[in-house]
């Protein structure tokens, strides 16, 4: 950072301290972060659009079928080259990486995250990778929010709030849905529902939406006009759609984790690129609607044009046969999750949010067409079921039922469909939650105990730094040491009342406490007869530095009743944690959380 800039920043911070309250400055920063998140999202969308527009020019029109196979591979290859030669850093899934930064990095996100997704995500999606841009938009916005907070020396709590503001801003800018954006930030990032949190979220969301309007006008990604009102007689069908989207959500999640684990067995990124690139190219060649994000599918289905949604295929199919159309729509639903995850496995950068909506729209539309054509004289609104199918998949896959309800309600411009939205969302979420305990965003974090939730107690424990509560200034004993040597070189020189015993490999063997030897300390006849091995005993429990999180550590103190527990690292003795120091650190962190 240049010296002149540092000097100006220091003067500004001094002026801010004297003239602006902390709360007012947070409000100002939330507006700034919303604006930056809006700019980042608009940039992502425009870069992707121009890449896609270039390949739709007339010079490529005679080669579209071939391009469906080649372009995704080229895009993935470009991303691979950028990662290997320039970035040389891992680019995680936007929302998962942001959640990890909140829970384990105190909201500190590296600066390279600002431009990493901004470059690689448009290349992935623009060249046809079957991913969305919402995740990268959140990643870019969160990095901007975190670095803005660091620049102005904001505390950890404020950094986390500004990251939530950035996420809300990215969502608001992407869909022009500010209310759903606030719900999204609260539901996904587990932000406190308090006045002090809601006002910054509101300001960031509005700032991002206004920014989006300034740069892209009033055009929206999902265009829908409600023409068919909600009919009470359709409730049973909506409930059945909820069941269908629930099991589709379970399928989506299982496919995601299975394919992700498949690609993990290949250590070489080049091998992943080769396998994944060929697989995604083949899928897109035979199922062109899987190309890119998929807004064309959703918008065409919403306006009732399923032929435009399906587009041209290499197969000679009779698309006037409605059952062939239904089969193709179901095929899009089945393969969207596979195509998306394969794109990730091959090294592509993108998001899960939009593919979820695409799958839900195709499934909802196919479901309505089946009802309307089974010959039982039923008729439901295909556009409404298309829209509400999105809700079901979003609620199930992302475990975000409120976001699903409010996003779709805002897109429709009213709340005419609020009842079916709630029915489908509730059914889909509750059933999916039973079979898949955590969403795609949060499962790995939850398994490692690194997931922020609305449980403040767990959140406080999660952000505690184990290194700050471990004490290492204990005198270490060897098992062959005699009592006299223990008294002279350990007890007499230490203010501690317990002494760890380790072997030559520094492995923890046991502990000797002052109470264990107090009765023989003045019996000189025992000084050369009794050794540490005969005096030591097992501790009440052992903390594994590499495996145990703070929740587990607290449980070990509770179950053992001990005031001090030893810590091992890589199988070696590392230090001790005392209950008193742990509780003091917990209390301080709780104060930080609730201020």
Q: Give per-residue pLDDT as tens, 310-322.
A: 877 777 777 788 8
Half-sphere exposure of 253 (CA within 13 A, CB side): 28
The residues spanned by each domain of the chain are 3-216, 232-457, 464-594
Q: Give per-residue pLDDT as tens, 188-224.
A: 776 655 556 788 899 999 999 999 988 887 777 677 7
Residue 63 burial by Cβ neighbours in a 10 Å radius (0-12, 13-18, 19+): exposed
- The answer to whether residue 2 scores a pLDDT higher than 70 is no
CB neighbour list of residue 325: distance below 8 Å, 6 or more residues apart: 306, 307, 310, 319, 369
- DSSP bridge partners of 544: 568
Largest CA distance in the chain: 103
**Mean pLDDT across the chain:** 84
In this structure, of 182-186, 329-333, 386-390, the range with the lowest mean pLDDT score is 182-186
Same fold: 3-216 with 232-457: yes
Range 3-216: architecture per CATH? Orthogonal Bundle (1.10)
Q: In 10 A of CB 591, how many CB atoms?
A: 10
pLDDT higher at 526 or 142 = 142
Kindly state the percentage of the chain with pLDDT values over 70. Answer: 91
The candidate with the shortest Cα–Cα distance to 384, out of 424, 441, 442, is: 424
With residues binned 3-state (H G I as helix, E B as strand, rest as coil), the percentages for the chain, rounded to 5, are 70, 5, 25
For residues 498-515, average pLDDT: 85
pLDDT of residue 393: 94
**What string of DSSP letters covers 379-397?**
---HHHHHHHHHHHHHHHH
Q: In 10 A of CB 296, how many CB atoms?
A: 15
Range 464-594: architecture per CATH? Roll (3.10)
User: Can you give the three-state secondary structure of 136-204, one letter per residue?
Assistant: HHHHHHHHHHHHHHHHCCCCHHHHHHHHHHHHHHHHHHHHCCHHHHHHHHHHHHCCCCCHHHHHHHHHH
Q: Give per-residue pLDDT as tens, 411-457.
A: 776 578 888 999 999 999 999 999 988 887 776 666 665 555 555 55
Integer CA distances (angstroms), 178 to 182, 187, 293, 446, in order? 6, 14, 22, 29
- The answer to whether residue 365 scores a pLDDT higher than 90 is yes
pLDDT of residue 451: 57
| Band of residue 40 on the pLDDT scale cut at 50, 70, 90 | very high
Domain 232-457, what fold? Clc chloride channel (1.10.3080)
Q: What is the pTM of this model?
A: 0.78
Alpha helices in 265-381 (DSSP H): 269-286, 295-302, 306-310, 322-345, 353-373
| Band of residue 259 on the pLDDT scale cut at 50, 70, 90 | very high
């Amino acid at each position: 950072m240049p010296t002149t800039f540092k000097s100006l920043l220091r003067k500004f911070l001094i002026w801010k301290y004297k003239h602006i309250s902390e709360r007012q400055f947070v409000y100002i920063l939330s507006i700034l972060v919303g604006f930056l998140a809006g700019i980042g999202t608009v940039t992502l969308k425009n870069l992707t659009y121009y890449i896609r527009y270039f390949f739709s020019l007339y010079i490529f029109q005679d080669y579209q079928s071939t391009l469906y196979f080649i372009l995704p591979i080229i895009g993935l290859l470009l991303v691979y080259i950028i990662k290997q030669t320039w970035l040389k850093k891992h680019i995680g899934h936007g929302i998962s990486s942001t959640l990890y930064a909140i829970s384990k990095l105190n909201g500190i996100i590296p600066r390279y995250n600002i431009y990493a997704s901004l470059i690689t995500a448009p290349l992935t999606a623009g060249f046809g990778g079957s991913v969305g841009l919402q995740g990268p938009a959140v990643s870019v916005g969160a990095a901007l929010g975190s670095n803005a907070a660091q620049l102005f020396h904001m505390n950890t709590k404020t950094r986390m709030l500004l990251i939530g503001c950035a996420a809300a801003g990215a969502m608001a800018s992407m869909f022009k849905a500010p209310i759903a954006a606030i719900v999204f930030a609260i539901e996904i990032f587990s932000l406190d529902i308090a006045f002090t949190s809601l006002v910054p979220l509101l300001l960031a969301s509005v700032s991002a939406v206004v920014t989006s309007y300034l740069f892209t006008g009033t055009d929206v990604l999902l265009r829908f006009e409600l023409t068919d009102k909600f009919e009470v007689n359709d409730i049973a069908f909506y409930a059945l759609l909820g069941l269908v989207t629930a099991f589709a959500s379970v399928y989506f999640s299982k496919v995601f984790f299975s394919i992700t684990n498949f690609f993990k067995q290949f250590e070489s990124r080049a091998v992943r690129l080769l396998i994944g690139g060929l697989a995604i190219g083949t899928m897109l060649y035979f199922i062109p609607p899987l190309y890119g994000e998929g807004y064309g599918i959703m918008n065409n289905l919403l306006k009732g044009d399923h032929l435009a949604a399906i587009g041209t295929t290499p197969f000679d199919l009779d698309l006037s046969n409605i059952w062939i159309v239904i089969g193709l729509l179901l095929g899009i639903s089945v393969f969207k999750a596979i195509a998306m995850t394969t794109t990730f496995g091959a090294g592509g950068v993108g998001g899960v949010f939009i593919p979820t909506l695409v799958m839900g729209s195709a499934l909802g539309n196919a479901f309505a067409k089946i009802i309307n054509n089974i010959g039982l004289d039923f008729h439901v609104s295909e556009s409404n079921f298309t829209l509400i199918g999105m809700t079901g998949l979003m609620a199930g896959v992302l475990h975000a039922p409120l976001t699903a309800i409010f996003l779709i309600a805002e897109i429709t411009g009213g709340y005419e469909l609020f009842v079916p939205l709630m029915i489908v969302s509730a059914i889909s979420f509750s059933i999916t939650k039973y079979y898949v305990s955590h969403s795609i965003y949060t499962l790995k974090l939850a398994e490692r105990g690194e997931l922020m939730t609305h449980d403040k107690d767990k959140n406080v424990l999660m952000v505690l730094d184990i290194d700050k509560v471990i004490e290492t200034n204990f005198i270490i004993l060897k098992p062959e040491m005699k009592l006299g040597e223990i008294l002279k070189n350990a007890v007499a020189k230490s203010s501690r009342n317990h002494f760890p015993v380790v072997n030559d490999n520094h492995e923890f063997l046991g502990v000797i406490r002052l109470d264990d030897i107090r009765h023989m300390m003045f019996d000189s006849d025992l000084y050369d007869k009794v050794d540490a091995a005969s005096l030591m005993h097992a501790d009440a429990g052992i903390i594994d530095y590499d495996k145990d999180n703070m929740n587990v550590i607290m449980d070990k103190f509770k179950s053992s009743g001990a005031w001090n527990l030893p810590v091992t690292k890589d199988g070696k003795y590392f230090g001790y944690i005392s209950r008193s120091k742990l509780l003091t650190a917990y209390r301080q962190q709780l104060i930080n959380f609730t201020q």
